[in-house]
Amino acid sequence: MSLVEHLQELRRRVMVSMAAILVGTIVGFIWYQNSPPGVMPLGEIIRGPYCNLPEDLRADFSGDGECRLLATSPFEMFMLRLKVGALAGLVLASPVWLTQIWNFITPGLHKNERRYTFSFVTLAALLFVAGAVLAYFVLDKGLLVLMSIGKEFQVAALTGGEYYNFVLALIVIFGVSFELPLIIVMLNLIGVLRYEHVQDKRRMIIVLIFIFAAIMTPGQDPFSMVALALSITVLVEMAFQFCRIHDKRTNQSRPEWMDLDDEQASGPVTSSGSIGRAQPVGATSRPSAPSRVSPSAPPAAPSAPPAPGRGGSHTYGHGDPFNDVL
């Protein structure tokens, strides 16, 4: 395909992906408040951790005891519903736009590269979903810890924008953090990171993971931080064990000289035997076999005899003319 054809295909696939996301956004916008029987509305699902707090930890502005978030601007509820619907549409349309991306890049990949790419994309999606699900269940305990601090003097009156931003940030941070083991495996497969580089550095890595969790969790509550750090530690250890097994299998077919230092000799070199003394050209030369000439080829013209006085009487070896030897 030419460059223009590639751009046309890219435009077509982007338009298909945007159309699917638009349809998913409309579905998510409707699902925010209305849902089919047996399915909870999307707004109620996101609001669930906040409503699970004890009644004395959250403010009641409705007077009927129903759990509701606070809105402080006229367009806040509409924009919040549109934002949640767009995120839901992005998730609902993910099979379509992921397929479009896959169909665009696979023609330029080899068969083994397609298999590896499909495996890594699938694992990345599963790890992100696992992190998002864990974040949702951790949110109950994290909010309870955060809202219980100073409850004698304050009561939680969260706006919808503040609460939803907190929830979505926690979900994204957990989902992205769960991709770290996959990055370690990829670096090991391409030969950048080996198990011997990290096998004696586990304590330092665990400390760095806890520092990362303490910085990245949006609420900085200890429960969310510990849950994120322990989860990443377990996944990183699983990635290290994969690196150990992969390196062991790779080293079985790896020659020893590839692991030596550049300044280190690879060992004694055995001689293949002495080389015989060179013989003079005239003593070993034999007349060459006459070359086969195609019957259809015209006979070669006889070479002109050497002109007298210009080396024609010179001989070399067994009397052959010097020009003939050359």
Give yes or no for residue 204 having a pLDDT over 80: yes
Residue range 195-224: average pLDDT?
85
Q: pLDDT tens, 31-73?
A: 988 888 888 888 888 888 888 888 777 777 776 667 888 888 8
When pLDDT is averaged across residues 210-223 and rounded to a whole number, the result is 82
To the nearest whole number, what is the mean pLDDT of the chain? 78
What residue segments make up the domains of the chain, in order of their start?
A: 3-254
Looking at residue 12, its pLDDT comes to 94
pLDDT at 205 over 60: yes
Predicted confidence (pLDDT) per residue in 251-269, tens digit: 765 556 565 666 666 655 5
Residue 280 has pLDDT above 70, yes or no: no
* 253 vs 105 pLDDT, higher one: 105
* Percentage of the residues of the chain whose pLDDT score is greater than 70: 75
φ and ψ at residue 58, rounded to 5 degrees = -135, 145
